[in-house]
Structure 1
Amino acid sequence: MKFVRPVVAKAQILIEEARKRWAAFGDLWRRSLQLRVVVSTLALSSAVVFVLGMVLQMQITNQLLDTKEQAAVRQANASRSLIQSDLIGLNPGPDSVQTRFTSAINKLAVGGVGTDATTAGAGAFEPVLADGLGSGRVPFVGPLDDVPRGLRQMVEDGRDGTQIHTVQRGKTQTTLFVVGLPMSTSSRSMQLYLIFPLTSEQRTAEVVQSTLVVGGIVLLILLALIANLVTRQVVRPVRQAAEVAERFADGTLHERMHVVGEDDVARLAESFNEMAESIQAQFKQLEEFGQLQRRFTSDVSHELRTPLTTVRMAADVLHASREQFPAGLARSTELLVDELDRFESLLGDLLEISRLDAGVEELTAEQVDMRVLARRAHDSVRAISTTAGSPVVLDLPDDELIAELDSRRVERILRNLLANAIDHGEGQPVELAMRGNADAVAITVRDHGVGLRQGEAELVFSRFWRADPSRNRRTGGTGLGLSISLEDARLHGGWLEAWGEPGHGAVFRLTLPRRHGEDVRESPLPLAPAIELEPVAVVEEPVVAEEPAEVELTPEEITWQPAEPVDATPADKAADEVSEEVR
């Protein structure tokens, strides 16, 4: 075990290194078109060269063997004709057979005897003569053991035959081509075998094989270089176009491609440049329009503050004297003050969002306990929560949850989320939960109202967007609260997300980094809650008898509510004259 563990650890390291290299190659393979083309071309070329080399080698080898066989058969026939006359009238004695065989073999071994132009290609050979009619040991002359047993049986049966055979000679194996011919005399049957070594043919085949291998490797290298060169010529403009497009996407709108020639790549460059010019012109128009819109919003907001101040002063005078007015006029005065409050909030939101659009807002980050901000936001919406009958349930951690952020903006985000949840909660409780980890803090605000339909989770942060335009607001919001909250969250480097299901309410999740300037990787709280199977019970808070909640009326209800006739007293007439002057 002591020696196995290091081996296993080293094997694991090698496997991990191989896995990393394979992953790196996979990434390079997916990203590089040039590599894919070169490797594909090399693979297909290798298959073609291998098949072609095998075919060529087989053709050359077969041609060599066919030529050798034809020459060897002609040589064997010529040798049989040469010694046929010397073996006629052979005596049956063993000594006589052996002597006559030796004489015939020596005659074949004499150079030039029985050789002409048709048998010159047969090469050197070893003759063997054997007597096939004797019992026991057969008389023979020559290396009869190198002749295959099957070929000897064929020739003894009176048929011509050839066979390629490999024998062990010394420490090497030698391939032989053996030709066997029967020889008949008046008294007995004999067999003539010619053994042709295939050494020269083997050398020729090896030379052809090595030549094909070297030529194939050289051809593959050349094909790889050619494919790399051709692919590079095609891919280089595409890479340049990708680099230009990346710089263009990063905001460098003056980037253009170089147009060279009149080919397809040149037309691609021209089309890209035309598209870039069109996009740049549209961006310029949008920037000018955005600047004009922001300037208009800012100017209108500032210009409206002076008359709004005058109207506010007059409204405050009327509101202070509302007890002297008739009931209907006094109520109208109160509604006027409420609408002026909403109008001032709208102007403030317009100024805030115009500053956010212009990018001039800055964070004032400080160390803050998030629980304190949640309680402040809860206190600020307590009145509308009581009026709507939607109590806010806080689920805060027991320990401090410190984060570095702009407390004013985060408190505004929480206040907007709570007010929105109360406005759409349909009298159900609103739940605020807070959790944190080492890197981030998350707050979820959930209502149990009508919820959000599919696709509305992305629209809730749009300016002045309402899920149901016919539905009256309870809190008198401006329609910009969620948009400003989203921009405040982005200004902190965080997220503001929404989830909703019809009949199950909606959830808004705010996730902020605990340290200013860091990125948020994950949220400590899930966005989608576990949907209850049973309906949520309505929790009613006791109504305080000393301070009854005021009933707010919408402008439509004001339009159709007639004033009650009353008898005017001298004091009422004086108040009417004052109101008329103010109007």
Structure 2
Amino acid sequence: MRARPPTWLRRGLLRARRLVLPAVSLWRRSVQARVVITTMATSIVVIGVVGWLLLQGVADGLTNARLSVALSESRSGFSAAQQSLDVRAVSEAASGPDVLRTLVNDLAERSGSPPSYLVLLEGPITGGTDRGLEPTVVSSSGLVAESIPDDLAASVAAGDGPAYTFTRLSTETGEPESSAIVVGDLLTMPDGQQTYALYYTFSMADQEDTLALVRNALVYGGIALAVLSSGVAWLVTRQVVTPVRLARRIAERLADGRLEERMVVRGEDDIARLSVSFNKMAESLQRQIRQLEELSRLQHRFVSDVSHELRTPLTTVRMAADILHDARGELDPSLARSTELLQTELARFESLLADLLEISRFDAGAARLEVEPIDLVDLAERVCTQYEALAARHGVSLRVVADGPVPVEADVRRIERIVRNLVANAIHYSGSERVDVLVAQGTTSAAVAVRDYGAGLEPGQSQMVFNRFWRADPSRERSRGGTGLGLAIALEDAVLHNGWLQAWGEPGQGAQFRLTLPRRAGDDPQRSPLPLVPDVEGGALERRGAP
């Protein structure tokens, strides 16, 4: 088993997520925020690259200028020092410490005040061992020999001529180290036997201060430019995003049914023309929706009025048909057959009229639920009991497959009507020898599925079966004609319960209709406990009811 991360890591990740999620949400939802953040990031990158290039150019310029001055002054100093030694008499004292110190002081005085360079004399490099001379280091302003890099000292000692390098200066006074250019060369004493290394060190503190000043200016200027560019991006995008947001709010109001909402038109630019076009579209939609609403209202009223008006003559015709049907034994065989046909068609007409009235209630929004606790397993078994005789006549075996009681809160009349419709359709139209009614429950939902093993459905028919007055292949055998409204009413009943009614079918493999309901009225069922695409044997649920 994989070990869990430590508590401190989980807490850190949780805090990081809490900080990141708002930023991610803002990035995903706001165009203006994306433009401003992108502009700021791009500005920072561009300003950083340009600033770095400028800083490098300034640094190279300052360094080259200081190096040129250092080389020029050091060459002059080397020449003056060698001349000063050459004019001295050749004597043993000419290489003494006092002479060397005097030489260094004279050279240091030439640098001015404050000194532009420091001088250090070290040696003897050659010829001192034979005469027993001690190593001597003479410097100005407390410059220490450790400031001279070893590679420069080796190059000077090799006698390759003037050499220079960049280093960090340190003095005996303990002042902060600073960058410097060190130029070194050999001096030959008047006797020609001894050589000393003379170093000029040129401080670059002024150049570092200048470079720091330029760097600070670039940093502060870059920050100001990034902020200003972000502000400009915010102002520019606000001019575009504000009308778009207004259009979004107005579109939401239009979707909510407030069809009179319009955008305010200002100016003659592209945004203004967009507002004009949006308002024209809204007016066209309002006009068409009003027309459709009026047509729908007239249609609903027509269906409702016709259905109600047909009830009275239909009742009269039904009474007359009942009298004729009761007396059919005394009539001529052809007339008796006519009375039987009349009775059958009247029953079908009454069913159609009842379905039309129910559809008109759904269309008018007048359908209401009478919720009460019910057991879907008992309801399914009751429906199967009602259709046992019809199933026997068609050679169909009915069974209920469940795993115990399935309580829900629903309108028992409407749910029973859905299940009756599904079972009756499976018996009449599927051509199957077996029909299973599956009942199951989940955490938040319950489901009833009617499964047959007959002709099935053609591709695309699983959605069309719920259309009003739609019929499958007319060549399929039927023992009676339906109204074509049963599944449409069943779908409306399911939606009224905040549930789903779905169909699946494959040619030759049968079909399955699944009703999914919330266990508590008004809840979201979230997911169905039964799969829409069934197993051949209906799963491992316990079989209950009639075989």
Shorter-chain TM range is 0.7 to 0.9
Mean CA deviation greater in 57-66 or 87-96: 87-96
- Separation in 2, partners of 1:468, 1:437: 36
> Residues 346 and 178 (structure 1 numbering): CA distance in 2 closer, same or farther, change over 3 Å?
same
- Separation in 2, partners of 1:178, 1:252: 84
The answer as to whether partners of 1:453 and 1:501 remain within 8 angstroms in 2 is yes
| Match in the other structure for 1:448 | 453
> Residues 455 and 122 (structure 1 numbering): CA distance in 2 closer, same or farther, change over 3 Å?
farther
Q: Secondary structure at the match of 1:426?
A: coil
- CA displacement at 1:191 relative to structure 2: 4.3
Number of matched residues? 523
Q: Secondary structure at the match of 1:394?
A: strand
Instruction: Decide which of 287, 302, 327 is 1:296's aligned counterpart.
Output: 302
| Match in the other structure for 1:559 | none
- CA displacement at 1:226 relative to structure 2: 2.1
The answer as to whether partners of 2:120 and 2:137 remain within 8 angstroms in 1 is no
- Separation in 2, partners of 1:9, 1:56: 48
Q: Secondary structure at the match of 2:306?
A: helix
| Aligned amino acid, residue 493 of structure 2 | D
- Separation in 1, partners of 2:477, 2:316: 29
- CA displacement at 1:92 relative to structure 2: 6.2
| Match in the other structure for 1:141 | 138
Q: Secondary structure at the match of 1:461?
A: coil
Q: Secondary structure at the match of 2:206?
A: helix
State the Cα deviation string for residues 353-394 of structure 1 (Å, max 9, x = none).
Answer: 011111112222223333343233223333332222222212
- Separation in 1, partners of 2:473, 2:170: 99
Mean CA deviation greater in 98-107 or 165-174: 165-174
- 1:45 equivalent in alignment to 2:26: no
Q: Which runs of 5+ in 1 are unaligned?
A: 534-540, 543-583
- 1:383 equivalent in alignment to 2:383: no
- CA displacement at 1:215 relative to structure 2: 2.1
State the Cα deviation string for residues 64-88 of structure 1 (Å, max 9, x = none).
Answer: 1111111112212222343333211
**Alignment of structure 1 residues 302-381 onto 2, 5 Å:** 302-381=308-387
- Separation in 2, partners of 1:139, 1:366: 112
What do you get for the CA RMSD once the two structures are aligned?
Answer: 2.8
- CA displacement at 1:173 relative to structure 2: 3.2
| Match in the other structure for 1:511 | 516
Mean CA deviation greater in 433-442 or 243-252: 433-442
Q: Secondary structure at the match of 1:506?
A: strand
| Aligned amino acid, residue 148 of structure 1 | P
Q: Secondary structure at the match of 1:498?
A: strand
**Alignment of structure 1 residues 194-343 onto 2, 5 Å:** 194-343=200-349
| Aligned amino acid, residue 454 of structure 2 | G
Structure 1 segments, 4+ long, off by >6 Å, are none
State the Cα deviation string for residues 445-477 of structure 1 (Å, max 9, x = none).
Answer: 111111122222111110011121333433432
Instruction: Decide which of 400, 407, 418 is 2:412's aligned counterpart.
Output: 407
State the Cα deviation string for residues 494-513 of structure 1 (Å, max 9, x = none).
Answer: 21111112221111111222
- Separation in 2, partners of 1:57, 1:407: 83
Mean CA deviation greater in 132-141 or 206-215: 132-141
The answer as to whether partners of 1:489 and 1:496 remain within 8 angstroms in 2 is yes
> Residues 196 and 377 (structure 1 numbering): CA distance in 2 closer, same or farther, change over 3 Å?
same
> Residues 81 and 372 (structure 1 numbering): CA distance in 2 closer, same or farther, change over 3 Å?
closer
**Alignment of structure 1 residues 561-580 onto 2, 5 Å:** none
- 1:180 equivalent in alignment to 2:173: no
> Residues 438 and 48 (structure 1 numbering): CA distance in 2 closer, same or farther, change over 3 Å?
closer
- Separation in 2, partners of 1:415, 1:476: 16
- 1:21 equivalent in alignment to 2:14: no
| Match in the other structure for 1:79 | 77
| Match in the other structure for 1:152 | 153
| Aligned amino acid, residue 108 of structure 1 | L
The answer as to whether partners of 1:440 and 1:513 remain within 8 angstroms in 2 is yes
- CA displacement at 1:268 relative to structure 2: 1.6
State the Cα deviation string for residues 324-354 of structure 1 (Å, max 9, x = none).
Answer: 3344443332122111100110011111101
Mean CA deviation greater in 179-188 or 460-469: 179-188
- Separation in 2, partners of 1:435, 1:94: 119
- Separation in 1, partners of 2:199, 2:9: 61
| Aligned amino acid, residue 168 of structure 2 | T
Q: Secondary structure at the match of 1:517?
A: coil
**Alignment of structure 1 residues 417-456 onto 2, 5 Å:** 417-437=422-442, 439-456=444-461
> Residues 407 and 475 (structure 1 numbering): CA distance in 2 closer, same or farther, change over 3 Å?
farther
| Match in the other structure for 2:102 | 103
| Match in the other structure for 2:86 | 88
- CA displacement at 1:15 relative to structure 2: 1.6
Instruction: Decide which of 55, 58, 62 is 2:56's aligned counterpart.
Output: 58
Q: Secondary structure at the match of 1:500?
A: strand
> Residues 455 and 427 (structure 1 numbering): CA distance in 2 closer, same or farther, change over 3 Å?
closer
| Match in the other structure for 1:126 | 119
Mean CA deviation greater in 344-353 or 89-98: 89-98
- 1:469 equivalent in alignment to 2:474: yes
- CA displacement at 1:10 relative to structure 2: 4.1
> Residues 397 and 328 (structure 1 numbering): CA distance in 2 closer, same or farther, change over 3 Å?
farther
Q: Secondary structure at the match of 2:260?
A: coil
- Separation in 1, partners of 2:446, 2:111: 107
Sequence identity (%): 44
- Separation in 1, partners of 2:377, 2:146: 105
- Separation in 1, partners of 2:514, 2:126: 109
| Match in the other structure for 1:393 | 399
- CA displacement at 1:182 relative to structure 2: 4.1
**Alignment of structure 1 residues 156-167 onto 2, 5 Å:** 156=157, 157-167=159-169
